[in-house]
Amino acid sequence: MADTMGHSATATRNTRLALGFCLLAIAPQIFELIWSIGTIFGWGAGRGPGTVLTSHVTALLAGAPSAIFGSFGGGTKKMSSEVLLALIYTYPLLVVAILTLFMTVRSAQDYVGGVVLMAVALFALWAGSDLQGMRGFSFGAGTAPRMFSGLLVALSAAIALTGLLTDGPAMAHYSWRGPLFVVAAILFFALAIRPLGVVVTAFISFMIAATGSQETRWREAVIVGACLTLGCAILFPYVLGLPMPMLPRFLIQ
């Protein structure tokens, strides 16, 4: 009884892992799609979401297999970057995801760590695929990146393997509150420093970051935040002479 329960628990866990890896496998495509939505509103140049979606879907479904079979036929047609992405990055990860379903993961920490690192390495392999390789005996721009990405693929595969073969810790617990608010504070700072200036940005970022802990006492945080903002406003632009906007742009004009 206990045995079967344990088995079904690992089974559901593996399904979740495999689903996660599948998502990881198409993450660059999804990212580009979300990014391209901006072009509808006229932010940034690039392809619209429609073209992005169709080109990736055709690359994933039809382009890549035909490229494989085409290469047997001796075709040296240059492959598009979508097809390369599918071939170099997405397919290997999908294979890993499928294999995961049949494995007993003994240390999720190592296994997931290895697979995600492998994804990074494969992605780097794709990102460097347009660069020139060896020219005679001299290195091209792409030689070293390809060498090290290849090495990282091998190493991360070995790490994932240790996760399968040896017992080790399970996945660590992630909390969401700290990372979310600290990153939000950093993002806000980056986006607001130019238009809003140091004074406003530093104070608001301080308050956003302070939200990341349950133990924050608001009155205290407001006082310290105000003092810190004042200190920064004097220290960085005046004492250290770093050029920085002080007040919001609309106030100066």
Partner 1 sequence: MDIFANLAHGFAVALSPINLLMCLIGALVGTLVGVLPGIGTIATVAMLLPITFGLPPVGALIMLAGIYYGAQYGGSTTSILVNIPGEATSVVTAIDGHQMARQGRAGPALAIAAIGSFFAGCVATVLIAVLGAPLTKLALAFGPAEYFSLMVLGLIFAVVLAKGSVLKAIAMIVFGLLLSMVGSDIETGASRMAFNIPELADGLGFATVAMGVFGFAEIIRNLDAGAEMSRDLVQQKITGLMPTKKDLIDSTPAILRGTVLGSILGILPGGGATIASFGAYTLEKKLARDPSRFGRGAIEGVAGPESANNAAAQTSFIPLLTLGIPPNAVMALMVGAMTIHGIVPGPQVMQKQPDLVWGMIASMWIGNLMLIIINLPLVGIWVRLLRVPYRLMFPSIVIFCAIGIYSVNNAPVDVILAGVFGLVGYWLIKHDFEPAPLLLGMVLGPLMEENLRRALLISRGDWSVFLTRPLSAVLLAVAAGLLVLTVLPSLRSKRDEVFTESEN
Q: Which long-range contacts (CB under 8 A, 24 or more apart) does 234-239 make?
A: 236/198, 237/198
Of residues 190, 197, 188, the one with CA closest to residue 252: 197
CA 129 – CA 88 distance, rounded (Å):
9
Binding mask 84-123 for partner 1 (x = CB under 8 A): -------------------------xx-xx--xx--xx--
Binders of partner 1 among 223-252, rule CB under 8 A? 224-225, 228, 232, 236, 240-244
Query: To the nearest whole angstrom, how small is the minimum distance from the Cβ of residue 3 to partner 1?
Result: 29
Is the CB of 23 or the CB of 183 nearer to partner 1? 183
Query: To the nearest whole angstrom, how small is the minimum distance from the Cβ of residue 5 to partner 1?
Result: 27
Is the CB of 7 or the CB of 177 nearer to partner 1? 177
Binding mask 195-224 for partner 1 (x = CB under 8 A): ---x---x--xxx-xx-xxxxxx--xx--x
CA 76 – CA 67 distance, rounded (Å):
10
Is the CB of 4 or the CB of 214 nearer to partner 1? 214
Binding mask 154-183 for partner 1 (x = CB under 8 A): -xx-xx--x------x-xxxxx-xxx--xx
Is the CB of 66 or the CB of 109 nearer to partner 1? 109
Per-position DSSP letters for 129-162, written without gaps between them:
TTS---BTTB--TTHHHHHHHHHHHHHHHHHHHH
8 Å CB contact between 25 and 85? no
Tokens describing residue 23: 């998502």
Is the CB of 7 or the CB of 217 nearer to partner 1? 217
Which strand (E) or helix (H) includes residue 11? helix 2-25
